[in-house]
Each structure stands twice: as structure tokens, then as C-alpha cells.
Structure 1
């Protein structure tokens, strides 16, 4: 199925440089639109809408306002001509999503509850966007994001598993993630070289969220940057920059200095990061 087979969608080829892979199957698009829960009446942010398949599904499912951020002028200009763009239900922003102030956009859209983020993310910007959204305030609600399957598995991984690493620790410090469903390459145009998956990230209650994600990002970057080493060795250069001795630092927060990063839990990493916040 091509965009031309779907009324209102823009029939233009994907650009490899922008990491574009498009979905046109209505059943898959509606499933993705509702993966994180009902969108009726909600403000929904979509990054990289491309031809508009998911955008159409979100609007058809009753989203109150869809904020579509699209860097490709071919699609941004076409979406701006939709009737929903004329009546204000669809806000089209032609811009690199990494440079967008999403909180301001949500406020301007008049959201009365946290905005949902639902997107078939361009492969080349998905992870940095996600890390930024994890640090967001109360304006950001549920997320349903399509990634390469391996990235989705890394997001949801538990300690001691092959995919567990920095991304899992960061994501699980602010949300409760799970994989909703997976898709083979053939579902997309053009087909990517790998399977894809929709990861749903449910915000943790305020009392369970970690307050120092910036510090957690630094600690996990150092710990998993040399994941084959024991923590005392992996964190030695990082600890020195903070005027600490790695072994003493780890011991002070109840972590075995001979442990390796992949065995540490969310709570372990939180204690390490939180201790830096006190220095």
C-alpha cells in the first residue's frame, strides 16, 4: 500500500538521511495510536509524521490536538493543508524536534492534562529525543514510541540481561516501560534492515520518579562505558573528577566495588547519583 492509496496522505519517497521509514497499514496505525491508552480529548505530540498515517489515526481516534513536528518541508507543508490544521486540531511545526521547546508548545495548545507523545520516531534521533523527554516536567504524560526492536528491548531490560544498560536505567528512573507489539521490516516503506517495536512508557507516580536524571545520566555513562570492568575501575576516572575515590564512594552507598554495571539495580544507580547531588 502506498500513500497514494490513502486519501489525504502525501505520496513522497522516504529520505535515508532523515531516517524515514513509513507505515501505511490502517490497522497497525490505529493500534499504535492507542497503544498508550485512549487519546480522545488529549493533546498528543507526534514527531516525524511523514505522510501523515499516524497523524490521521490519532485524529480519527478523537485526539483533541495533535502537535506534529516535521523537519521535512515536503510533509510539513502538506500536513498544514489538512482541514484539521485549518480548524486548530492539528498544529504543524516545521522544525528539527531536537530544537523544540515541547513544554511551551503544550502550554500554548491549552493542555489541561499531561500531553501524550506518540510517534514512529526517525531512527537517527529517537534515543536522544527520549532521554530529553525523560527529564521533562509534569507536562509530559504517557508515551508510545516506535523504535528499532533492539532499542525497545534495551529500554525495557532488567539487570543481568543482555540488553540491560544505560538506557534502561534512565528510562526506568521516570517511567514503567513495556513492549506493546513488534513489526517486521516489511510493514514499512521502505523496509528497514531490522525489526521494529512500539514501546509504551507509563510515567511513574511523582513519589517514585528520580529527581536527578542528569546525574544519573553521567553515572550510567561512566559505568556502562566500560561495562566489562568492575565498578571500582569503571568509575575511577569519573569519581576522581568529583574528588572521590571510587572504592570508598561505592562502599559508602552499599555497592560492592567488584560488581559490574550490568548487575546493579535501579536503586543502586539512584543511590550513586543521589550521593553526588549532596556533594
Structure 2
């Protein structure tokens, strides 16, 4: 069966444009604001949504996403509430792919079988679990694939041609290329280097390659969209959410709308990139 992710990337390829992939943390800064942003992302231009599973120790993430996890947890976020967000989203949108991104601990705590059942029931399309290497595929990756979920793997600048086949062996949906070494939000990628790396990965797979880490502006998003099949923006959107919290810790009125306005500017950069290049 063709998944929502596969359908979306095929549609975008046919249209000759790259995917705009957005990341937010579930429950950040509170459940209702988070849902307001999540619900509005497709109309703001998001083609694929990565939804972070809040966790106490997000070791691969930079300060912005770490802080978003802490805000979500303080507001009462749990794995069940994260899945409920997806379920509520699906009541109004049955086409936009949602990928849960995070760490294995919360999934393990719920139980793999229970988690996969509930994720499928909620309408989740794929998983990115950053701390499970290919050597641990039997733990979650293989069961997830059998359940009908895409399992997206990360490739990095240090993933050489010898390592790539192992990384790609059970990957589906798309490949997430981490364009810089280090934690999320810590630097900005060079488009020329990204294009070379994407070309190298594509010699090993027919899957779309989306590029993330360090994209903060519409111009940077456009540069990446010209070099890859998708541009992923996370920390910049999470920062925009953080700016909507006042000095007393309360969420400002109209927060979701302002965040979505920023998202729309990034989407415009991605979606107009190839059209402008062709002119």
C-alpha cells in the first residue's frame, strides 16, 4: 500500500517542486496552541509535518528544541497526548503526512506493540527515531514497517559510502540528510556542499532526500530546495513559538497565527525556489 508520505513526494516530484517539511514539538507551549499551529501548518504551506515527541533528554537537539520539549512537558505533554494531537488533526486533514520524531525511550516505555497500534490508529505515517542505529532495526524499525509506517533514517556528512547501505537498508518514505555536524540549530548549511551530498546519497537510493538542520530564513530554505527533494525547518519555527511566550510564561493572544505567518514565509521560499531557477 502506498503511504501518505510516498504519495506526497510523488505528487511534488510530478509538480517539479521540493517539499517543505516543518517540525514542531507536540504540546509546545501548551496543548491548544500546539494544536492551533499543527492544524494550520498545511494551509501555511507545509507539505510534510514532523511532530516532536517530548522527552526529558533530547541529546541530539540544540537549545531551541530542548527548550520546546521542556515547555511541552511542563504543560503536561505525554505520548498519549501527542498521539491525540495527531488524531485531532486527522479529523480535518487526511492527506498531509505526519512523522513522529524523537527518541526511543518514550516509545519503549509505552511498549513497542502498543505504541505502533495507537500510532496507526491516530493517523501517524512515519517515524524518525534518532537514537536507534540500523544495528537495532529489530527493536522498532522492522515492526514499524510491518505495521505500515515509514521509517525515516538520518544520514550525516560523516556517513560515508561504506556506511550508507546499512543506513538505507530499511529506510522508507524519504532520507533525512543532516546537512551539518553537531546539534540542531547550531549552524547554517552551504547549498553547494548539500547538493554534492544529496547527489552522493542518491547514487545509493531512489528515495527522496530532504535536508535539515540550520535552515532559518526563506532564502536558506530556497537554496536547499534547489539542491534537494525537501527542506526541513525546525529550530526556527520552534524559536518563533518561544517568542510568543511573555515574561510571565503565558502564551500571547494570537500566537498560533503569528507563528503560521512566519511558516508561510519559509514555505514561499521553498515553493518558489525551483520555479525561479527555471525562469
Shorter-chain TM-score above 0.5: no
Flag the structure with larger Rg. Answer: 1
The TM-score, its normalising length taken from structure 2, stands at 0.32
> Highest relative contact order (Cα 8 Å, sep 6+), 1 or 2?
2
Compare the two structures and name the one with the higher strand fraction.
1
The TM-score, its normalising length taken from structure 1, stands at 0.32
Compare the two structures and name the one with the higher helix fraction.
2
